[in-house]
Chains A and B, each alone.
Chain A
Amino acid sequence: MRFAVALLVLTIPARANTFYLTVAGLGGEPDYEQRFAMLASETEKTLKAHAPEASVETLKGAAATRENIRAAFGRIALAAKPQDALVVLLIGHGTFENGYKFNLPGPDLSAAELAGFMDKVPAGRQLVVNTSSSSGGGNEALRHANRILISATKTGSEKNATVFARYWVEALSDPSTDTDKNGSISAMEAFRFAERKTKGFYDEQKRLSTEHAVIEDSVKGGAAGQLAMTFSVVKLDAESLSADPAKRALQAKRDQVEAQIDQLKYQKLLLAPDMYRTQLSKLLLELARVQEELDK
């Protein structure tokens, strides 16, 4: 995983930017209205704290209209480049009758309309996280190459209000979400965190789960999940490539050892446990020493 992210860092030009658009939809009642707006605000706070250079836009309350969303996408489409990334987060209620719709003040936003807005954004990697009820019903319309889809529900028929959003937002600010400790929370890591917490919520409440989150991505020639694993949603303390040649050599060495560790892990089942452990210990120690040098 570290290796994959490192590769991404090396292959993506340094000026790649991420555009975030968060929409808190119509609550329908004060409790939901307040909750959705609060989650949107928390997201904005987290993103601004961890990615001050990124473009972060939030639409909530009366401002969260279809027209304003269209306008926001229009601005992003003008500013974004192919090397950039786009993250769309929808928090609210959704319906599924003759297609999926995200509930907004005024006219609702259909999945097809959202897909149309996103298609116009040239950002080469896109993530849409739809945490609303019935959100799974919108996935078909949103499916696109190099676009990761995360929905709180598997289908449009899961119509109850969801809790996924709360845990998605929590995932972005909880360091334990970064399970590979590479200083970056990937879409897959955040999804796994939120999915597990959502399941835990229903288990603890002894309630039948009325939402089953799904993730899907499609990258040309890549394996399922590959894009989501390398798509950084929040960078906690990701490292950039050093300008110092000596350090660059150490970074290269580190990447090489990490690659060896990855390879060894793939062979784990084929090796005798003792042999695996001995080789792993050696490589981990080597990696730690290289990192120690790098940190000096």
Chain B
Amino acid sequence: MRSIGLMLCLGLVAQSQTLKRAEELWRAHDYKGANQAFKEAVAASPKDADLRVKWGRLFLERYNRADAGQLFTEALQIKPDYAPALLGLALVANETFEGKSLGLAQKALEADPKLVEAREFMARLKLEDSDPKGAVAEADSALQLSPGAKDALALRAAVELLADRSPKEWEAKIAAADAHYGRGYETIAHFLVLNRRYDEGIEYYKKAVAADPYLDSAYSNLGINLMRMGREADARHALETAFNHGWKDNATVNSLRLMDSYKNFKTFETPTTILRLQKKEADVLHPYFETEMKRAMAVYDKKYEMHLSFPVQVEVYPDHEDFAVRTMGMPGLGALGVTFGGVVAMDSPSGRKPGEFHWASTLWHEMSHVYVLTATKFRVPRWFTEGVAVHEETAAAPDWGDRMTPDVIQAIKTKKLLPVAEIDRGFIHPSYPAQVIVSYFEAGKICDYISEKYGEHKLLDMIHAFAESTPTDVVIQKQLGIAPAEFDKRFLAWLDVHTKDTVEHYAEWRDQFKTLREAATAKKYDDVIRIGAKICDLYPDFVETGNVYVALADAYTARGDAGAALTQLEKYSREGGRDPDTIKRLATMLEAANRPKDAAAALERLNYIAPQDADLHKRLGGLLLAQSNTSGAIREFAAVVATKPLDQAGAHYDLARAYYAAKQNAKAREEVETALEAAPGFKPAQKLLLQLTAGASD
């Protein structure tokens, strides 16, 4: 018995020495050594939950979420409701802004109400959800438990900064507690970036690395945010510093890779725009993107009553992974485009299947952010800037923007839309998978409602109010003259009028739609026409694959009713349908119906969806030339040339024809000679050359 006790005692001593060694190695930045020491300690004491939690924290710090999560889970299996393990899982979840992090942190606090770090973390979550009051309450609770709780002090400083008050008092307390506590400044920087105040965030990341030169995560974030702001030399320096210190997380490595790939991009500059396009598609996309940037800026200059003092930079990535690097560490969807101050990064239309992505809608959305962020000096809640941006998409053209999805219908039906004062939560910490999409929809509709009910200028008044760091509830009260709760009530009533039919009949539509699809597959066209006519108005927004409009058009075509088929495809296009083949089919039918102008308009829509399609440009160029729209024809035929088609002679000849029609004979001759260089015996081009020569000698 005595010997067993001695062995136990020796075992505990050995374990505590191994743990001590692991922590020392960790502090000395020997992460491999620390990992090995933890491994040995856990092998020696497999039932020690605390060891596993500490080891998990090492993994979490070294950006290995999977192993960290596994260790926290194992700790909970050993010791259910072990608060540090629950907190660990909450931290893991919050790395990707998962909504469940809040519940896990609450559980940790229920298990141990005096766990200071859990309290600090709650404060962080509240502030991420734009709830400064809640954040202050949680931070103060942590400070009551431990007056030197440095992260709580940092959160208090962040709250002050976000409210445009001085953070000095709190920063002084952090410095007094630990002069080298860079993480405090890193936390402050995190919140500034989260609130799109990138320049200020960068300054705080600099403070963080100045306080702690080994704080590699801050170097990495400094680099990423410098890159976001287009300050590439400084960004590379910061990222390489982190990398050379051994900080090789995905964000750092991928950001460096992305910067290396910039040599494959081509930059087009005007006094007001900077456009960065991948070389392979630069010549095709350049005219369309630059024109649209300038068009959006002209509209927004007028609408927002301001003029940007800097050129807007738009970066277009054909490889979605490159674009994804730009959005790393950002909450929300960020699926198509993202704006960092005056820099917009977005997917290229070539990065997705044709028809999936309306690039112009995304561009206008992001450009709206540039104006709203600038006008508010970055003091705008996420819901509002997103809402205005979504509102601008359909304001630019009704068929732009996103349609109402089944997720949104479900959210309306089950009353999951958030009150206006809390909607930011839906963007930052979604509590169900579709909540981000639902929040975009809701925010957009709120702005539509305000515009319709109070006038478009009211949105600008709200922008100016937000610029004063005024919270949402106060802005709603002051600008709209009603309490937020009353606003929610009125907005939902308005939304109900607009969505009632679809929401109420969605289940019926879904069932009938299934039957319609079966009938379409079986080519039972009479059934398709009967069911389609009954349900097409129940859910007009549904323009995805297999939609009712196209099914009806097919059925009418099979029945020989071209007019009815055309009507359906026109509805499809008007409702925002984006499938290139269907739109081309519509254009063909419009041409057959002797409506060339409408055919051209149908194809023009496709320029905003699938601009890399040489066939589209060729057809559209031909239609525009026939309508004497020579500038349009030149644009379209030049796009064909830019796609570098196999038929070089045909492409240059078409462009020459357009120039000739526009009486730009020098350019026409240049193009026709290029056509003939490729195919010297090309008779139509020879004839044009002779015409041009005769014209020159006249």
Q: Which residues of A contact B (CB under 8 A)?
A: 1-2, 176-182, 189, 192-193, 196, 203-206, 254, 257-258, 261, 265, 277, 280-281, 283-285, 287-289, 291-292, 295
Contact = CB atoms under 8 A, between A and B. Distances in A.
8 contacts: A2-B681, A179-B646, A179-B648, A179-B650, A181-B650, A284-B673, A287-B681, A291-B686
A206 B648 contact: no
Of A181, A193, A203, A284, the most chain B CB neighbours within 10 A belong to A181
B689 A2 contact: no
A205 B676 CA distance: 35
A287 B686 contact: yes
B687 A180 contact: no
B646 A181 contact: no
B681 A258 contact: yes
A203 to B, nearest CB: 8
B35 to A, nearest CB: 37
Contact of A265 (B673, B677, B685, B689): B677
Nearest to A290: B686
Interface in B12-31: none
B353 A2 contact: no
A205 B680 contact: no
B647 A179 contact: yes
B690 interface: yes
B681 A176 contact: no
B681 A180 contact: yes
Contacts of B683: 181, 291, 295
Interface in B665-698: 673, 676-683, 685-687, 689-690, 693
A287 B687 CA distance: 11
A189 B648 CA distance: 12
- Top 10 A-B pairs ranked by shortest CB distance? A181-B682, A288-B686, A181-B679, A176-B647, A2-B681, A284-B676, A180-B679, A261-B680, A288-B689, A179-B647
A291 B687 CA distance: 9
Given A204-B353, A280-B673, A284-B673, A179 B690 contact: no
Contacts of A287: 676, 680-681, 686
Contacts of A180: 649, 678-679, 681
A201 to B, nearest CB: 11
A176 B680 contact: no
A274 B587 CA distance: 43
B682 A176 contact: no
A192 B689 contact: no
A204 B349 CA distance: 10
Contacts of A181: 649-650, 679, 681-683, 685
A91 B26 CA distance: 65
B294 interface: no
B352 interface: yes
Contacts of A1: 679
B689 A196 contact: no
Nearest to A204: B354
A189 B646 CA distance: 9
B645 interface: yes
Contacts of A288: 676, 686-687, 689-690
Of A196, A281, A289, the most chain B CB neighbours within 10 A belong to A281
Given A182-B681, A204-B354, A285 B693 contact: yes
B280 to A, nearest CB: 11
A124 to B, nearest CB: 26
Nearest to A281: B673
Given A258-B681, A291-B683, 4 more contacts: A180-B679, A181-B650, A284-B686, A287-B680
A285 B689 contact: yes
